[in-house]
């Protein structure tokens, strides 16, 4: 037994020395066959132990590499989230590279795992908080007047997804953040009114001036926003310049400058409008004062003339009285003649004075009247100009600048009025919500200008075929709304399907590529119990169905 132990020790020694051979050992022990067998068996065991150690070593090395890779990836993912976690992961990487003690690694790994659990909990809370803020902000955004329909739709989907899953939220947070930051900027300009008055949480709005703009959509939204602004003639060129200078990948600071320039322009325009109204009012009040003075003066002159008239009349009466008393008192015909002569002269002078006075008075009055007339004419002209300007501004505020169709505000006003009328008279009123199919593709492939042109051509086609029988408006983005009064269902669907075919056949050509455009539409009739929102929602749902069914179709919902 002690011999076998010695043999094992020797064989281990030999195994560790690769230059030695087993032959020498065999030679020494050749006289013992039992020992020989034992040694051979041991040799095999040793060889297989060496083999399996190599395999284990390789496996260990591979696992070590995998773990190191994992730690590196984890570090990259967690980078910047939590500084202490970052530090711990860096320390772990160093320990691994130094092949440090396994116990040391284990302690740190446990610590990191604990940190990650805490981080995950915190993240969950953050997301829940974000979810809450998102719902509040999204609700507020939905109530914004003039929100383009594609944004409204995206927002609705976002809100719905957000209520159902927080993963969807995480996925959409960047999009939302951009939307919110853009709208916050535009809201501040006061061009879009936030009816809800709910403040949009700032915690999910990035500091836009510190982050580079990488998303083209913000620029596009802004450019669409600029398209919709109606400013006075004087500022239109400047506005067009701001819009023309918007370009892909422009630095955030430059975009902010554009926001500011647009804001500046709007406030100037507003101020000018206010000033021109002020000028008109002060001119009006000035003119009124002049007229009032003129009227007062005329009255005064009239009064003065009346007195002078009375005086002259009295004078004449007195002279006539004197004439008759002179006749009564006269002694001779000669006396009478002399007396009458002198009195008639006096009367003639008075009459002449009277007629002179009357001509003068007539002239003065005429002059005053002409003066007054011209002042009133001026005033009338100014009022007409002002009225015309107000009319033009009102018309402009109801018109979509790009397509020259009615805009969303005009639609809201018209639809609300028509609903009341049709419910009162019990006459048919239909609402159509139409949306271009795959319009984004045009913008993305051929550029925004091609997109704009497409919108104009399609708007003109809507006008050409529907204007006589309906009220057409651009609801926003690539969405149109049409209101039909006194149309039955069959003729309405025929008109829409015929328009759909006309649009499909429009020969669009961009960069030598023939492109066909289509639209989907949802239609509904307004019911007695409907309000604006319910009717719109139903038409919009029909539109969704048309999109979901494969687009380029009209869906009617009862
Ligand atoms: N050129 C241009 N593009 C606009 C205007 N308003 C909205 N858009 C673009 O219209 C596109 C709408 O895209 P989506 O909402 O994805 O709709 P879509 O591509 O038509 O897809 P479907 O509606 O599902 O058929 C976006 O790219 C907007 O930027 C505009 O005034 N001019």
Ligand 1, closest atom to CA 444? 27
Q: What lines the ligand 1 site, CB under 6 Å?
A: 148, 150, 220, 224, 227, 402, 435-440, 443, 448, 451-452, 455, 477-478, 547, 551
pLDDT of residue 546: 97
Q: 145 alpha carbon to ligand 1 midpoint, in Å?
A: 19
Q: 298 alpha carbon to ligand 1 midpoint, in Å?
A: 68
111, 319, 349 from 354: Cα distances, Å: 121, 14, 8
Ligand 1, closest atom to CA 227? 31
pLDDT of residue 236: 79
Please state, in angstroms and rounded to a whole number, the distance separating the CA atoms of residues 220 and 216.
6
Assess contact for 199 and 228: CB atoms under 8 A: no
Tokens of 201: 């949480």
Assess contact for 434 and 484: CB atoms under 8 A: no
Output b/e per residue, 200-233; b: 16+ Cβ within 10 A. bbeebbeebeeeebeebebbbbbbbbbbbbbbbe
Q: 403 alpha carbon to ligand 1 midpoint, in Å?
A: 15
Shortest-distance Cα residue to atom 21 of ligand 1: 438
What does the DSSP 8-state code read for residue 526?
P
- pLDDT tens digits, residue range 229-242? 666 777 778 888 88
Q: 454 alpha carbon to ligand 1 midpoint, in Å?
A: 11
Alpha helix (H) ranges present in 200-251? 216-228, 233-244
Q: 290 alpha carbon to ligand 1 midpoint, in Å?
A: 58
Q: How far is CA 400 from the centre of its chain?
A: 14
Q: How far is CA 339 from the centre of its chain?
A: 100
Ligand 1, closest atom to CA 217? 29
Ligand 1 probe mutation, 147, 149, 150, 435, most atoms within 8 A of CB: 150
Percent of the chain with pLDDT over 90: 26
Ligand 1, closest atom to CA 224? 31
Q: 431 alpha carbon to ligand 1 midpoint, in Å?
A: 22
Q: Could you tell me which of 132, 120, 125 has the C-alpha nearest to residue 163?
A: 132
Assess contact for 462 and 549: CB atoms under 8 A: no
pLDDT of residue 279: 58
Q: 84 alpha carbon to ligand 1 midpoint, in Å?
A: 44
Tokens of 129: 């908080």
pLDDT along the chain (558 residues), means of 10: 38 40 41 67 69 63 60 59 72 72 69 66 58 59 56 60 42 37 42 33 34 59 70 78 80 67 64 57 55 58 71 77 70 71 76 78 72 68 71 80 92 93 93 96 91 95 95 95 95 96 94 92 96 95 96 96
Q: 319 alpha carbon to ligand 1 midpoint, in Å?
A: 98
Please state, in angstroms and rounded to a whole number, the distance separating the CA atoms of residues 481 and 453.
19
pLDDT of residue 542: 97
Please state, in angstroms and rounded to a whole number, the distance separating the CA atoms of residues 218 and 251.
12
∠ at Cα 30 (28, 36), nearest 5°? 110
pTM beyond cutoff 0.80: no
pLDDT of residue 213: 41
Please state, in angstroms and rounded to a whole number, the distance separating the CA atoms of residues 25 and 403.
102
pLDDT of residue 190: 34
| Three-state secondary structure of 284-337 | HHHHHHHHHHHHHHHHHHHHHHHHHHHHHHHHHHHHHHHHHHHHHHCCCHHHHH
Shortest-distance Cα residue to atom 15 of ligand 1: 150
Tell me the Cα Rg of the chain: 48
Please state, in angstroms and rounded to a whole number, the distance separating the CA atoms of residues 319 and 343.
7
Strand partners, 399: 406
Shortest-distance Cα residue to atom 27 of ligand 1: 440
Ligand 1 probe mutation, 439, 479, 515, most atoms within 8 A of CB: 439
- pLDDT tens digits, residue range 58-90? 655 655 665 666 566 656 555 555 677 778 777
Shortest-distance Cα residue to atom 3 of ligand 1: 451
192, 204, 239, 262, 358 from 251: Cα distances, Å: 25, 21, 19, 17, 82
Q: 226 alpha carbon to ligand 1 midpoint, in Å?
A: 16
pLDDT of residue 55: 66
Assess contact for 545 and 522: CB atoms under 8 A: yes
Please state, in angstroms and rounded to a whole number, the distance separating the CA atoms of residues 332 and 532.
106
Assess contact for 108 and 92: CB atoms under 8 A: yes
- pLDDT tens digits, residue range 307-322? 777 787 787 778 777 7
pLDDT of residue 207: 35
């Amino acid at each position: 037994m002690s011999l076998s132990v010695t043999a094992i020790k020797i064989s281990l020694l030999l195994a560790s020395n690769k230059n030695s051979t087993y032959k020498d050992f065999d030679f020494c022990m050749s006289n013992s066959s039992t020992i020989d067998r034992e040694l051979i068996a041991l040799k095999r065991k040793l060889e297989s132990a060496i083999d399996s150690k190599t395999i284990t070593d390789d496996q260990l090395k591979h696992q070590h590499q995998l773990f190191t890779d994992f730690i590196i990836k984890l570090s990259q993912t967690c980078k910047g989230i939590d500084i202490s976690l970052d530090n711990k992961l860096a320390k772990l990487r160093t320990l691994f590279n130094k092949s440090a003690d396994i116990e040391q690694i284990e302690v740190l790994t446990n610590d990191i795992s604990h940190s990650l659990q805490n981080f995950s909990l915190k993240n969950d809370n953050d997301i829940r908080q974000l979810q809450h803020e998102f719902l509040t902000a999204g609700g507020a955004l939905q109530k914004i007047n003039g929100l383009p329909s594609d944004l409204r739709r995206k927002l609705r989907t976002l809100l719905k997804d957000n209520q159902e899953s927080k993963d969807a939220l995480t996925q959409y947070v960047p999009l939302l953040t951009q939307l919110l930051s853009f709208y916050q900027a535009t809201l501040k300009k006061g061009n879009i009114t936030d009816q809800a008055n709910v403040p949009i949480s700032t915690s999910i709005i990035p500091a836009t001036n510190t982050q580079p703009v990488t998303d083209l959509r913000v620029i596009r939204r802004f450019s669409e926003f600029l398209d919709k602004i109606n400013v006075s003639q004087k500022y239109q060129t400047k506005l067009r310049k701001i819009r023309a200078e918007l370009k892909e990948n422009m630095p955030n600071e430059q975009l902010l400058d554009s926001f500011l320039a647009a804001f500046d322009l709007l406030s100037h325009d507003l101020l000018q409008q206010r000033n021109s109204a002020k000028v008109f009012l002060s001119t009006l009040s000035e003119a009124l004062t002049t007229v009032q003075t003129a009227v007062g003066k005329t009255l005064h002159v009239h009064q003065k003339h009346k007195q002078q008239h009375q005086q002259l009349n009295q004078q004449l009466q007195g002279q006539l009285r004197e004439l008759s008393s002179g006749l009564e008192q006269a002694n001779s015909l000669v006396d009478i003649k002399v007396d009458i002569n002198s009195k008639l002269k006096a009367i003639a002078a008075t009459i002449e004075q009277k007629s002179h006075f009357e001509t003068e008075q007539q002239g003065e009055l005429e002059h005053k009247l002409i003066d007054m007339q011209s002042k009133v004419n001026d005033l009338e002209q100014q009022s007409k100009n002002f009225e015309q300007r107000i009319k033009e501004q009102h018309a402009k505020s109801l018109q979509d600048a790009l397509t020259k169709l009615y805009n969303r505000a005009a639609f809201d006003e018209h639809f609300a009025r028509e609903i009341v009328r049709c419910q009162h008279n019990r006459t048919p009123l239909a609402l159509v919500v139409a949306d271009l199919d795959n319009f984004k593709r045009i913008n993305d492939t051929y550029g925004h200008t091609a997109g704009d042109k497409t919108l104009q051509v399609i708007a003109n086609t809507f006008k050409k075929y529907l204007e006589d029988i309906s009220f057409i408006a651009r609801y926003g983005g690539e969405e149109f709304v049409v209101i039909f009064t006194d149309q039955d269902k069959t003729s309405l669907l025929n008109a829409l399907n015929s328009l759909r075919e006309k649009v499909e056949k429009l020969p669009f050509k961009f960069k030598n590529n023939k492109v066909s455009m289509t639209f989907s539409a949802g239609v509904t009739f307004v019911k007695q119990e409907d309000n604006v929102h319910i009717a719109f929602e139903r038409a919009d749902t029909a539109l969704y169905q048309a999109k979901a069914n494969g687009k380029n179709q009209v869906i009617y919902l009862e």
